[in-house]
Amino acid sequence: MRKALALCACLLALSGPVLAADPDEMLKDPAQEARAEKIGQGLRCLVCQSESIENSNADLARDLRVIVRERVKAGDSDRQVVGYVVARYGDYVLLKPPFKARTLVLWGGPFALLLGALGVLVVFFRRRSAAGSPPPLTPEEIRRLDALLKDSGNS
């Protein structure tokens, strides 16, 4: 039993990441297929958004894998293939979008949100400390409060 468990553990450890590409999508030339996979690892699945098209099972990711492989098979360079996909879907399809004016929101958005949150916290704590604690009750207010509490206890 231990040998079987050890064998299963070894097989699991040796198994690499399973790619979503179907065998019918794959190119016959191993060099072209390796290029297509490398390109696909840098392209975002627009449905999943956190996976590359090579790791996604979404229909759109499959379509993009087919497009990439067709372009590689046609003899396009890696840059031409990526340029073709970006021309159709925009810079967002890249897992690492370039830093330029059109992608400034993608790069600067998280920092702007962080600065905005810090600003809100600073304003909140400044107002809180400026308000201070309320003044103590006067002897007359204490007597009225005691009278109200006695009345509510009797009813």
Q: What is the pLDDT of residues 31-51, one digit of tens each?
A: 888 999 999 999 999 888 789
What is the model's pLDDT at position 7?
60
Residue range 71-92, pLDDT digits in tens: 999 999 999 999 999 999 888 8
Quick one: tokens of 6?
A: 């050890």
Same domain, 134 and 148: yes
Predicted structure pTM score: 0.55
77 and 124 part of one domain: no
pLDDT the model gives residue 155: 58
The domain tally of the chain equals: 2
68 lies in the same domain as 88: yes
pLDDT at 131: 75
Whether pLDDT at 28 is above 60? yes
Contact 90, 80 (CB under 8 A): no
DSSP 3-49: HHHHHHHHHHHH--PPP---TTTS-SSHHHHHHHHHHHHTBB-TTTS
Range of the domain at 22: 17-98
CB 66 within 8 A of CB 26: no
